[in-house]
């Protein structure tokens, strides 16, 4: 299980763009919340792990009975399936983010934003937009950043492109990484927690 007190990957190694102080694989030894668990601050759910039973989540393209996302929190991953030479496609409710209820003492809300890393093999980024929207439950969900009070939930929608004229090749695979990055009022760093989510896209 992921915890804050994990020995010692250099900070920033997993998410160079975010500077996060806590990931599923590393933590800041100077963090005042040592020994705490990431799941006390933010959850990321797939259909199979969503405790509310919300359905449907986005499915693998071509396999409507198979949810694209699997896992929970630090084990989340996404397989969107085949999108061949697509100009633009919006995939709704790929996953859900939720603030636990209760949150740790002194924290009234968690701010969640998205960072993206390109497919490492090609250097291309098929994900062109990430947007939060209302899921079941309470909370104001819109745009690319949300503030979640205890118990609030938002779904994450993705927009992708795989156009050949933008450098993508047919019959190929791309795996960019999406990071769920969390912070809270009173924390002085740029971000406190992140979950890396690999997103597989095929152009077969």
Segment 61-117, tens digit of pLDDT: 999 999 999 999 999 999 999 999 999 999 999 999 999 999 999 999 999 999 999
Confidence of residue 12 (pLDDT cuts 50, 70, 90): very low
Whether 158 and 130 have beta carbons less than 8 Å apart is answered as yes
Which one is predicted more confidently, 148 or 138?
A: 148
Which one is predicted more confidently, 15 or 140?
A: 140
Residue 22 has what pLDDT?
57
Supply the mean pLDDT for the chain: 85
Percent of the chain with pLDDT over 70: 81
Residue 7 has what pLDDT?
24
Report CA torsion sign: 97, 11, 191, 193: positive
* Span of 3-7, 170-174, 179-183, 184-188 with lowest mean pLDDT: 3-7
**What mean pLDDT do residues 152-174 have?**
97
Domain boundaries, the chain: 45-178
Question: Residue 110: which H helix or E strand, with range?
Answer: strand 109-117
Residue environment code for 62-87, b if the CB has 16+ CB neighbours within 10 A, otherwise e: eeeeebbbbbbbbebbbbbbbbeebe
Of these ranges, 24-28, 72-76, 188-192, the one predicted with the greatest mean pLDDT is 72-76
Residue 2 pLDDT > 80, yes or no? no
Q: Cβ neighbours of residue 129 under 8 Å, at least 6 residues apart?
A: 90, 158, 159
pTM of the model: 0.85
Q: Cβ neighbours of residue 64 under 8 Å, at least 6 residues apart?
A: none
Residue 111 has what pLDDT?
95
């Amino acid at each position: 299980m992921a915890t804050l007190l994990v020995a010692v990957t250099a900070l920033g190694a997993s998410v160079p763009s975010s500077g996060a102080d806590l990931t599923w694989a590393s933590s800041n030894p100077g963090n005042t919340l040592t020994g705490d668990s990431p799941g006390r601050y933010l959850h990321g759910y797939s259909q199979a792990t969503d405790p509310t039973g919300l359905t449907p989540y986005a499915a693998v393209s071509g396999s409507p009975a198979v949810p694209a996302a699997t896992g929970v929190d630090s084990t989340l991953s996404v397989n969107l399936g085949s999108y061949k030479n697509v100009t633009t496609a919006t995939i709704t409710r790929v996953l859900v983010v939720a603030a636990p209820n209760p949150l740790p003492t002194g924290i009234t809300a968690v701010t969640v934003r998205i960072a993206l890393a390109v497919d490492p093999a090609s250097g291309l980024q098929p994900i062109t937009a990430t947007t939060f929207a209302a899921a079941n439950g309470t909370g104001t969900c819109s745009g690319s950043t949300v503030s979640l009070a205890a118990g609030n939930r938002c779904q994450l929608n993705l927009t992708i492109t795989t156009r050949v004229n933008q450098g993508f090749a047919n019959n190929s695979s791309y795996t960019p990484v999406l990071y769920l990055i969390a912070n809270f009022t009173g924390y002085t760093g740029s971000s406190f927690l992140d979950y890396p989510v690999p997103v597989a896209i095929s152009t077969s």
